[in-house]
Structures are given as structure tokens and as C-alpha cells.
Amino acid sequence: MTAAAAKILILDGEGIGPEIMAEVRRVLDWFDRKRNLRFEIQDELYGSAAYARHGKVISDQALTAMRQADAILFGATGGPAFERIPAPVRREGTLLRIRKTLDLYANLRPVFAIKALEQASALKPRVLQGVDLVIVRELTGGMYFGEPRGVTTLPDGSRVGINTHRYTSGEIQRIAQVAFELARTRSRRVCSVDKSNVMEAGALWREEVTRLRDANYPDIELRHMLADNCAMQLVRAPAQFDVILTDNLFGDLLSDGAAMIMGSLGMLPSASLGAVQADGRRPALYEPVHGSAPDIAGQGIANPLGAILSLALAFRLSLGLPAEAVRLERAVTAALDDGARTADIALAGESTVSTAAMGAAVLAALDNLAP
């Protein structure tokens, strides 16, 4: 990080978002006080709170701040309050629209086994041994954005819902480049996942990924796998994977399934990245993979570790602080080793801690790891 303070924008969002982001703020404050790091933190409303104040899901001021931030930290979206916003207004500010507006086309979701949480996983400990992978998901194309789309009424009165799975060669090449470059920092292995056996866009995906590897990344081992087989392999033998490259829809599904490797969806962090701009800034949004969890919102029992680990990703990928990223990740592991458990990662009969207490456990671990 340069001498100038890093600009961090925080959007709490809906449901459990404010609760987990409160713990992220405490961690940022620790690094400010104990590690002499400089952060310029700005808070903006998102969702129903923003609609109540501005008549929009996200204000123009917040959008401007998003474009200027070095890193955006996002809590959660969705839930009853969000759904009560009029649909046309809601669509203008969805997380999908934000990703498209900022062109955050590359979603990274690291998944790794944590020894202390082996029993919280639905997978057997022997299956979890050595698991350390990253899912690289294309985030602004495919089924979620393809046209035509919508629901129409046919002449006979029946209705049809249409979504289009569409990819251009350019969209495929740029996300594949992210995966190959990432693989060069790891074990130089990429598994590209598609449904080329039944989808033309999948066949193009496979062709373009292969062409790019052959032309520019001959040092990377590339294999292809059908998405349904990959889903099975992630629960059968996840340690076989290093970097998984896949499209928007399959990446969404596979990463949620892979969360059980870490014991809970509440543990999984993510980074959504855009292209490096002329001024050197790269748009980036960091968020836990879990949703707004309205059923437990306001109870103080949500797991903040996915959000805290997302901050570690921001340290590493946007703020030029790789050593601090490692420090924070070690603190999370230490807190879990010491027995801190929120309800989602606790075994039957185990005592649980609140959201704030889990945050406090991470802070205590950071103190113990310092300097």
C-alpha cells in the first residue's frame, strides 16, 4: 500500500450484513491501531435502508464512491425487506447490476480445509486432507445476463420463461487469463468446467480456453471436466483440484457446494475483480458467499468469519498487504483452534458464541500473533 490511505467503502446491506460488517470494522480498527495502517473508510447505505432514505437501492453518491474505492467491502443482499422494494427500483440496484456496472467479471472463491472444523463438514476427514483450491467464476456474462430473457404468455395462454446462456470469445478469454495467471502463483494446474456435451456456449468455452492455454500458457496443466462430474468430484476427492475455472451459473452452484469443505457457507470469502484501469486502480468488491440469512438477522448469532476472510482477500489483492492477509488468516485459524464456534459450525452439544464474541476471538488471536 502507498503512503496515501487506502480508500475502503463499506456497504452493510441486508439481513445479517450489518452484524457481520461490524466485526470487519473492529478488525480494520485493530490493524489501524496495532499495525499503523492507514484506511480511509466510508460507509454507505445499500438495500432497504438506502431506499428509505434515497428512494433507490443504492444512491448515486454510493455508486461514485464504489468507483473511487480501492476496495469495497459488502455484507449481504436479499430478504423480505429487500423484496418489498418495488421491482423496477430493486432491479436497478441489485448486486448483479453492480457487478455489471463496475465490470467485476472475475470472481475468486478460495476453499480450503480447516483442521479445527473437520467435524463440522459433511465430508469425511480423509476426504478433506490437503484441500486448497480456488474457484474462478466468470461473473458478468452467461445465463444471468444473456438476452433474450423474461417471461411471456404464449397464444394458447400458457407462459414460458426464457434465459439465454451466452458467451463471447472475449469474455471467455479474459476470465481464463485470470485463472491461468492465478495458477502460475500456485501449482500450475487448471480444471476448466463446462457442459460442452449439450451446450454450444460450453463447446465454445472449451475451445477458447484450450486455445489460450496453448498460445500463452504452455506451462499450465489444463484439463476439462463436465460440470455435473465436477460437482461429484468436489465431494468425492476435492484435493485433486487447484484452480477451477468455470462460468457464471456453474461457478455459483459449485462454490456453494464446495463451502462444505470449510464446514459452513458462513466461512466462505470471495473477491470480485474488474480489469486494471489506466490509473492503476482495479475495481474490487469483497463479500462473504453466504446470503442475508433473514431467519437469524438481528439475533447476533451469524458467523462473521466469511466476511473477515474476505477482508484478508482485500489485503492481499487490492491493498498490497499480503503479510497482513496471512496474519489475519492465521488469526481466524487460531480462534477456531481455541474453540470459538458460532452456531453454524458447532457440533451438537458444543457451546456457541455470538457474532461479536467470534469477532473478539479473532482480535484476541491477532494480539497473540503480534508483532
271 φ, ψ (degrees, to nearest 5): -130, 135
Residue 256 annotated among the catalytic residues of the structure: yes
- Residue 338 is a catalytic residue: no
**Catalytic residue (choose from 46, 51, 105, 144):** 144
Catalytic residue among 29, 219, 228, 338: 228
Cα separation, 24 vs 332, whole angstroms:
12
- Cα distance between residue 315 and residue 71, in whole Å: 9
Give me the count of residues in the chain.
371
Give the three cell numbers for residue 40.
480511509
Q: What number of other Cβ atoms are within 10 A of residue 367's Cβ?
A: 11
Distance CA 334, CA 362 (A): 8
Return the H-helix or E-strand segment holding 284: strand 284-288
Tell me whether residue 242 is one of the annotated catalytic residues: no
End-to-end CA distance of the chain: 19
Which 3-state string (H, E, C) describes 198-240? CCHHHHHHHHHHHHHHHHHCCCCEEEEEEHHHHHHHHHHCHHH
Spatial neighbors of 271 by CB under 8 A, at least 6 apart, are 107, 108, 284, 285, 286, 310, 313, 314, 317
Question: Is the alpha carbon torsion for 201, 92, 317, 120 positive or negative?
Answer: negative
Known active-site residue 167: no
DSSP run (H or E) holding 309: helix 305-317
Candidate list 194, 252, 286, 344, residue with the active-site label: 252
CA distance 165 to 350: 45
228 is catalytic: yes
Q: In this structure, which amino acid lies at residue 233?
A: Q
Distance CA 89, CA 315 (A): 33
The set of catalytic residues is 144, 195, 228, 252, 256
